[in-house]
Amino acid sequence: MPEIGFDRLIVVYDNVTFDPEGDEGSLHVATVGVRDDLALVERDDRAASDTGIVLLSEPEDVVLGATVRVRLDAPKPTLGLLARNLDALLAWPGATIAEPVDFYVIDGRYHRSTVPPPADLEAYRRVLALVGLLGQAAVFLDPIRREMMFMKDGRMPMPVTYDAADVAATPAEAAAGLLATFGDDTHREQKLAILAEVVVGVAAGQPRQGRLGHVLRRLDEVLAGVRDGYRLFASEFSYDKVRSDVEDARLDYLSKIHKTFVDVQGQMLGIPVATVVVASQLKPAKDCGGEFWIDVAVLAGAWVFVLLLWLALENQRLTLGAIEAEVSRQRSKILSDYAAIDDRFTAVFDGLRRRIRWQRAVLASIALVGLLGGALTTVGFVGLVRVDPRACVDPPAAAILRDGSDRLSVRL
């Protein structure tokens, strides 16, 4: 057992002003313990080898309150680790999988027992927790080779290698959310299977050594995928099935919407007949002869057509209203049953609503054109008929004339 434990080395490290480069620095002999430890390593080669402390100043300079020069080599691995920064710590075998028992990081001056832990140490521990979770989701985690193995359409090895930049870029909220998702044992095996599938999808196409770092940086996407997959699993559905059902419904709605236009196509094609062709059949009428009755029949036929067209259009408008209500009901069902993936189907339902609005505009335009045709026919009738229609409807009234003194006489 070494005579100087790592806890005493931490006191030494805390009092060293390290040089910007290299492993040397100036040590302030702040306590009696530091002075005694320097004296021990100076006289005991084993203590010096275990601690990695080399006194560069003269032994007689080591007095309480003095500052001496030292070189700090790596201590014995079983004693603890001394690293210049987090990248150097991660370079130690196994440090990317489990936190070393004892360590000291010069940049930031923190160690395993630092309270409160600095942001770098908290981020490092979050990543270690994530690595442990991914190791459970993988087929296996080999701590000796420092590699996970995932399986989906073949083997996907994922070396457990990442650096300080990957640690810093790992979203803290996503990490906490993902770890919380696995905080209980409910459906744990299914959730791990979902996590493995999502991780494989995110890491696909990445260089082998950079796969884990890429997954850590895109942890938001991993968390969203796990939550979506689990909610679908809990509902006993798969995303593909939901998507297929929505697509089938979309095609059915489009067919119904299209049919509302096809059903009135015949009436729509009759509009020119009700305007140009029908109006051309009107004849000048100066008395109640045949031309007058032909004109009346043409006018009546035009407005009967307009009435029938309006009834057909009103029926299709009501049909569109029913379709829109069904689309809204389907949209609400997706929102309530599959809230996690609701946004993925927003475009489908928005497209259907736009199509319904367009179809209503088309029906309104057809109705407007039909009314315009009836109005033009009426204008033509009024312009060509020069006889009072009431006189033709009631022939005896034709014999009744009004004289200049407002007295009525009957022509015998």
Of 166-170, 225-229, 236-240, 383-387, highest mean pLDDT: 166-170
| Contact status, residue 274 vs residue 370, Cβ threshold 8 Å | yes
- pLDDT higher for 95 or 320? 95
d(CA 31, CA 63): 10
Work out the number of other CB atoms within 10 angstroms of the CB of residue 370. Answer: 25
Amino acid at 358: W
HSE toward the beta carbon, residue 164, CA cutoff 13 A: 14
Instruction: Return the closest-CA partner of residue 191 out of 226, 152, 144.
Output: 226
Give φ, ψ of 13 to 5 degrees.
-60, -40
- Identify whether the C-beta of residue 159 lies closer than 8 Å to the C-beta of residue 146: yes
Q: 305-320 pLDDT, tens per residue?
A: 778 778 877 887 888 8
**What is 318-338 written as a DSSP string?**
HHHHHHHHHHHHHHHHHHHH-
Q: Please state the rounded mean pLDDT for residues 323-339.
A: 76
Q: pLDDT tens for residues 101-131?
A: 999 999 999 999 999 999 999 999 999 999 9
- Residues above pLDDT 70, as percent of the chain: 81
CB 126 within 8 A of CB 135: no
Order across the sheet with 67-72: list the strands: 16-18, 24-28, 67-72, 53-55
Which band of pLDDT confidence, cut at 50, 70 and 90, is reported for residue 412?
very low
171-223 pLDDT per residue, tens: 999 999 999 999 887 788 889 999 999 999 999 889 999 999 999 999 999 99
Q: Are 147 and 155 in contact (CB under 8 A)?
A: no
pLDDT of residue 405: 38
The reported pTM is 0.58
Q: Which structure tokens are listed for 98?
A: 């489990």
DSSP states of 60-110: GG--TT-EEEEEE----TTT-EEESSHHHHHTSTTTTTS--SSEEETTTTE
Residues in the chain: 412
